[in-house]
Amino acid sequence: MLKFCAYYVVLMLLGELVNILNKVRKTHSRDEKVVIVADFLRNLDEDDLRDVIKLISGNIGKLNISWGTIAKAVGLSHGEDIGEMVERSLSGKKRQQSLVEEAVTVKELMNLFAYLRTLKGKGSAERKIALIQSLFRRLSPEEANFVARCITGEMRMGLSTGLLIEAIARAFGKGDLRKAYTVVGDISELALMAKRGILQVSPRLFFPISPMLAESCYSVDDAIKEMGIAAFEYKLDGVRVQVHKDGGRIKMFSRRLTDITDRFRVELDLKCESCIAEGEIIGLGLDGRPVPFQVLMRKADIKKEILFFDIIYLDGRNLLDIPYQERRKMLEEVSDKLVPRIITDDPRKAEEFLKEAVEEGHEGLMAKKLNSPYQAGIRGRYWLKIKPGLEKLDLVIVGADWGYGRRNRWLSDYYLAAYNEEKGDFEIVGKTFKGLTDEEFERMTSWLSSIAVKEEGKTVWVKPEVVVEVAYDEIQRSPKYKSGFALRFARITAIREDKSPRDADTISKIRRIYEAQFSRKSAKW
Ligand code: AMP
């Protein structure tokens, strides 16, 4: 009996996980959802805990299997919600296995995903279809629904990252784990640490931590009113990097926490044994002036340099809670390549500095509160970004229409969405086909096709993954979209491959800009 129990515990069945998720889905109270998930996680062994968290947080790596491949595997060819489609197509057919031993386990599913990731090149599509087919034959319709969502990354389980973090904290008797998560960066790793009782919230070399982010602010005046005396740094328009150095080993990570060491060749002269420093890589034109972000990303041979603005770890010391000003002093010891800055509480001086930054071709200024800690993963008001002109938005493409005429080969009319924090979902705020080159339309078409989740007439709905920077003339109130807002004359100004949907702007920010449009207009008429 004992032996059976041990065996049973090690090989957790996929069906058990799916049952729990269904239970969560049917529960309305957030607190109850947390309790159900926590009770489930608490009893898992380490392997299952890691795998389960990876599965439910949609963190299983890129399988490169599209909606179309799954549709083929279940013998269907046209579109609707992938999970429901698979579930319906299998319901009615009896699952082919009956003995418990033959049911698919979580481990087995993860092994299959790992194998699918290795399949590339000629014949791989057929092989993938065959493997998915034989897997589906062994699944109940509900399990197949879940697996189809895992594969396409369409994981709407009603389980946000926030809820999962709370459930982990509750399962293992920890307090608030949100801060630990921003430093650890990986939610399954966080769960393992919580289970083992070792929660290290210090940065670790070669494990990127979520970057600290800035809120918007309209003017240096507003920034000084809010912060008092503050540091004003140039806001550079480039690619943010987190550089990890240990002796001769150096790696660079993007703000999406991916390793981009080989992507950009820049001189990194850090005078320390080990450190984690943050900076921005910019491209320089022949006249030495910074080039636009798009050019930096497109032209491999452009001259590049990195300018540092923060340091969060130095020779074994965690600097996260050290005030900004002291961190900056340490950074000055470590590198000569720093972002220009002044410290002032005089709005005229700050305004002058802003003008200089813009004249030199930079985006604006970043105001930083002198005694602020480094808040990993948090967009707070310790850093305020000041950009002259109407601020661009980072939006996520959630769907696209096939174009007309010359653009008919491309998915080229994009639905742009902002994140609604209250609903935990992306909501459309505009649509545009403006701003991309033919080459970019081509690339976007294959990118979007690979993350498609549903087709409806000429529209392909996709997993929210692609972030674009969008300029517009005005934000209007509009009943056209559920969000209640619509951007007037939206156009894409950059494809932000360096940003993840988590970096997207929010509906509440759009509401703020919308309201500010009026406060800045004349009230006299
Ligand atoms: P945004 O992408 O508009 O939210 O602005 C935040 C980004 O500005 C950061 O992620 C950095 O890539 C970039 N940035 C440019 N200059 C600075 C600076 N001096 N300090 C911090 N971030 C900066």
pLDDT tens-digit readout, 78-104? 445 666 666 766 666 555 544 444 789
Which of 152, 169, 184 is where one domain is finished?
A: 152
Q: pLDDT per residue over 177-219, tens digit each?
A: 888 888 887 889 899 999 998 876 789 899 999 899 998 887 8
418/351 same-domain check: no
- 263, with CB counted inside 10 A (0-12, 13-18, 19+), is middle
Report which ligand 1 atom has the smallest distance to the Cα of 379: 4
- Rounded Cα distance between 505 and 427, Å, is 11
Q: Are residues 320 and 228 in the same domain?
A: yes
- The helix (run of H) or strand (run of E) holding residue 332 is helix 324-334
Residue 218, CA distances (Å) to 176, 222, 225, 275, 344 in order: 33, 7, 12, 34, 17
- 312 with 285, same domain: the answer is yes
Q: 368 with 398, same domain?
A: no
- The pLDDT of 57-83, averaged and rounded, is 72
Q: What is the pLDDT of residue 12?
A: 85
pLDDT of residue 166: 94
Among protein residues, the one whose CA lies closest to atom 5 of ligand 1 = 214
Contacts 24+ apart (CB under 8 A), 25-34: 25/157, 25/158, 30/163, 33/158, 33/159, 33/163, 33/167, 34/163, 34/166, 34/167, 34/170
Crossing angle for the helix pair 46-56 and 14-26, to the nearest 10 degrees: 50
Distance 473 CA to ligand 1 centre (A): 23
Whether residue 230 is contained in a domain is answered as yes
Test site for ligand 1: of 366, 369, 374, 375, most ligand atoms within 8 A of the Cβ: 366
For residue 119, the domain's CATH number is: 1.10.3260.10
Residue 100's pLDDT is what?
44
Q: What angle do CA 39, 40, 41 make, to 5 degrees?
A: 95
The upper half-sphere exposure of residue 496, i.e. CA atoms within 13 Å in the direction of its Cβ, equals 27
Grade residue 488 by pLDDT with cuts at 50, 70 and 90. confident
Tell me: do 425 and 329 sit in the same domain: no
- Domain co-membership, 377 together with 420: no
Tell me the torsion sign for CA atoms 64, 69, 73, 78: positive
How far is the centre of ligand 1, averaged over its atoms, from the C-alpha of 397 (Å)? 22
User: What is the reported pLDDT for 151?
Assistant: 84
pLDDT digits (tens, 9 = 90+) for 333-387: 999 999 999 999 999 999 999 999 988 989 899 999 999 999 988 888 999 999 8
Whole-number Cα distances in Å, 327 to 194, 269, 318, 380, 522: 29, 18, 11, 18, 43
Are 465 and 508 found together in one domain?
yes
In-domain check, residue 77: yes
Q: pTM here?
A: 0.67
At residue 505, the 3 state secondary structure works out as coil
The answer, yes or no, to whether any atom of ligand 1 lies below 6 A from the CB of 374, is no
pLDDT tens sequence across 112-149: 999 998 888 888 888 888 898 888 888 888 898 888 88
Question: Is pLDDT larger for residue 496 or for residue 407?
Answer: 496
Share of the chain residues as helix, strand and coil, in percent rounded to the nearest 5: 40, 25, 35
What local confidence, expressed as pLDDT, does residue 76 receive? 63
Give me the chain's average pLDDT, please: 87
What pLDDT digit, counting tens, does each position of 244-275 carry?
999 999 999 999 889 999 998 898 989 999 99
List Cβ neighbours of 51 (8 Å cut-off, separation of 6 or more): 106, 107, 109, 110, 188
- CB atoms < 10 A from the CB of 171, how many? 22
User: Tell me, what's the pLDDT at 518?
Assistant: 60
Atom of ligand 1 nearest to the CA of 238: 12
8 Å CB contact between 252 and 278: no
Helices (H) and strands (E) in the chain, counts: 18, 18
Q: Of residues 33, 128, 235, 454, which has the active-site annotation?
A: 235
Rounded to whole angstroms, the Cα distance separating 204 from 393 reads: 32
Mean pLDDT of 286-303: 84
Percentage of the chain beyond pLDDT 70 is 90
What is the domain extent for residue 365? 213-386
**Cα–Cα distance, 236 to 283 (Å, whole number):** 10
* 235 tagged catalytic: yes
What is the enclosing helix (H) or strand (E) of 89?
Answer: helix 82-90
Q: Mean pLDDT across the stretch 428-436?
A: 94
pLDDT digits (tens, 9 = 90+) for 39-50: 999 999 999 999
Total domains, the chain: 3
Which is more confidently placed, 468 or 218? Answer: 468
Whether residue 231 is found in the same domain as residue 338: yes
Kindly state whether residues 357 and 410 are assigned to the same domain.
no
Nearest to 224 by CA among 65, 139, 343: 343
Provide mean pLDDT across the span 283-299.
85
Determine the average pLDDT of the residues in 10-15.
Answer: 82
Q: What is the CATH number of the domain that holds 448?
A: 2.40.50.140
Q: Cα separation of 253 and 207, whole Å?
A: 9
Classify the phi-psi angles of 173: left when phi > 0, otherwise alpha if psi is within -120 to 50, otherwise beta: left
- Report CA-CA distances (Å) from 418 to 45, 138, 196, 397, 484: 38, 39, 37, 9, 12
255 touches ligand 1 (CB under 6 Å) = yes
Nearest CA among 255, 215, 246 for reference residue 372 = 215
Same domain, 466 and 501: yes
The answer on 403 and 333 residing in a single domain is no
Of 254, 275, 255, nearest in space to 263 by CA = 254
Secondary structure (3-state) at 287: coil
Residue 474 lies in a domain: yes
476 and 410 fall within a common domain: yes
Mean pLDDT of 492-520: 86
pLDDT of residue 407: 84
Cβ of 366 closer than 6 Å to ligand 1, yes or no, is: yes
Residue 77 has pLDDT above 60, yes or no: no
Q: What length does the chain have?
A: 525
Rounded to an integer, what distance in angstroms lies between the CA atom of residue 421 and that of residue 98?
A: 43
Rounded-to-integer distance, Cα 170 and Cα 33, Å: 12
Strands 425-432 and 411-420: antiparallel
The percentage of the chain sitting over the pLDDT mark of 90, rounded to a whole number, equals 54
